[in-house]
Structure 1
Amino acid sequence: MFVRTLALPLLVLAATPALAQEQQTPPPADTGGDFAIVGAGAGILPDYEGSDDYRWSPVPAAIGRVSGFNFQLLGNRLSVDLIPDGGGTGLDFQAGPIGVVNFNRSSIDSIDDPRVKALGELDTSIELGGYVGVGKTGVITSDYDRLSVSLSYRTDVSGVSDAGILTPSVSYMTPLSRKALVTLFASAERAENGQMDTYFGVTPGQSLASGLAAYDPDGGWKSWTLGLGTAISLTGDLTHGLQLVGGATYRKLTGDAADSPIVRDAGDSNQWMGVVGLAFSF
């Protein structure tokens, strides 16, 4: 569940393959050609959504453009932009499919809290949907910074929750030089009733097994997230070669999600996540 958020520092490398250089060297134009960025990192994240125990997890990512179509594999999330991107400045409209593999509470061996373990293991959920968005290059600091907004919806198709999540998000990337950039991002999640019941509800039977109070949440806004990411070139520049990437996010669970005994009594509504890794551009 959290791997997608942790992979966002790798996403900033794909904001534009044409990054600002030192002033004495004109930056290359983004001609809309093919490119790829692959990376992997180590992330620290809660045992489950709402936990106050943390663990390390690998975070893979692959981002690129093929024949004008952008793709992103960010941890447990895959998306493809079906509107061809010709490169350059101006508006970039985006729309396409997304798929998420939700591992939340799918392995009780990775959960430390005995009360949450006693709730039982959930099946891994396959969530499919789509997104729309728009990005603008050349906004505030230079011709190469980028502001993007998007709205996505995905729903479980594997029979785990049979419900969906709506996610609005916004991100801003600015290069500091040809060798470094930073990004800021924010998002929120609105979950349908089945999602809330599955991941934050406690049935009477589970209450007897775990000692947590029985709880029947309603759907609604369940969280908001703020994050910061950075990338620094180690060889060459950010358009090719090896980069060090890192970032951190803060997620706040809200509404019925925050009031769940799984969070209020066994965990924490304040969720911190971090990642550090390497990426290679070519």
Structure 2
Amino acid sequence: MKRKLLALLTLAAALPALPVLAADNSLLASPVASARSNAQAEQTIGAGISYGDAFFGDKSKWRAGLFGEANFSNGVFLSTRDGLGYRLVDNYNGFSFAASIGPSGSRRESAGDNDHSPNRLRGMGDIDTRAQINLFGNYDNGPFHVNTALRQTLGERRGTELDVTGRYDVYSTKQDLVQVSAGIGYGNKTLMGTYYGVTPAQSVTSSNAVYTPEAGIAAGSVGVMWRHALTQNWITTVGADVTRLGSEAGDSPLVGRRTSASVGGSIGYRF
């Protein structure tokens, strides 16, 4: 698996040498509704599968799930990822802004299951999904794209995170879109403590050392993605990425590995 991933990343490094072909690739634009424009009004449902390393254990895992994205010409969007939202500004000199309310992240003790050492998350308790406010800012200029997301968990948890991702179209036609990407994520002290910290009470129940991370860079990532239009309605996506935790998260006694690699694919039906 790691050799396959290395081959994909080597391909990604070589792709910028390919010519960027100008084409109307709105069919292959990001399926995430918060990153699309009112002119790209459509709905997509699909399923995806991925295989990758686990931060909280040494056992690589298969993951599968369904997704849905609905984008309407009046600015309203509905997403299994970002929730129910509205596009506040649509394509003003390449900029767009949106807001939504949706689900926050979560974590289960079973995420630490592995084959070679005790589960570090056992006794830490589950982190449940909460309501979350999201603010999005996007910029598109030809083959260049920048997507930012500021997320604020509601309730007593109050975790705040900021994600910034840059994408570049290295190959773009009406049927194919290849992108390389790089991103970075920042978390406030509450968010970092929620996912990577160990309180005195949790130390007793889990046997992990007490750890109190500060606010900082949660992780950085690089990736490559290929989207292909099988027909006007059916779209496939395959990709690979590597993510490395920042020092505050990576030094946590809960973390089994600081670097995670994954590959995956999905198929969606647009209408």
SS in structure 1 opposite 2:205? helix
Question: Among residues 8, 17, 20, which one is paired with 2:26 in the alignment?
Answer: 17
Deviation at 1:173, TM superposition (A): 2.7
Moved over 4 A (4+): none
User: Does residue 152 of structure 1 match 2:158?
Assistant: no
Q: Return 5+ residue gaps in structure 2 as ranges.
A: 1-23, 29-36
Q: Which residue does the alignment assign to 2:109?
A: 108
**What TM-score comes out, normalization by structure 1 length?**
0.72
Written as runs of structure 1 = structure 2, the 5 A alignment for 1:1-282 is 16-17=25-26, 32=39, 34-45=41-52, 50-63=56-69, 65-67=71-73, 69=75, 71=77, 73=79, 76-78=81-83, 80-85=86-91, 91-105=93-107, 107-112=108-113, 113-137=118-142, 146-159=143-156, 161-234=157-230, 236=231, 240-263=232-255, 267-282=256-271
Residue 44 of structure 2 contacts residue 268 of structure 2 at CA under 8 Å; is this kept in 1?
A: yes
**What TM-score comes out, normalization by structure 2 length?**
0.75
Root mean square deviation, CA, Å:
2.9
Change (3 A) 1:64 1:186: farther
Write the distance in 2 (CA, Å) between the matches of 1:122 and 1:31: 35
1:167-196 deviation per Cα after TM superposition (whole angstroms, max 9, x unaligned): 222112354433221112221111111111
1:19-64 deviation per Cα after TM superposition (whole angstroms, max 9, x unaligned): 7xxxxxxxxxx993633333221123555x5443333333433345
Change (3 A) 1:44 1:31: closer
Deviation at 1:121, TM superposition (A): 1.7
Q: How many residues matched?
A: 235
Write the distance in 1 (CA, Å) between the matches of 2:77 and 2:265: 22
Deviation at 1:80, TM superposition (A): 4.3
Write the distance in 1 (CA, Å) between the matches of 2:27 and 2:50: 28
Change (3 A) 1:128 1:64: same
SS in structure 2 opposite 1:207? helix
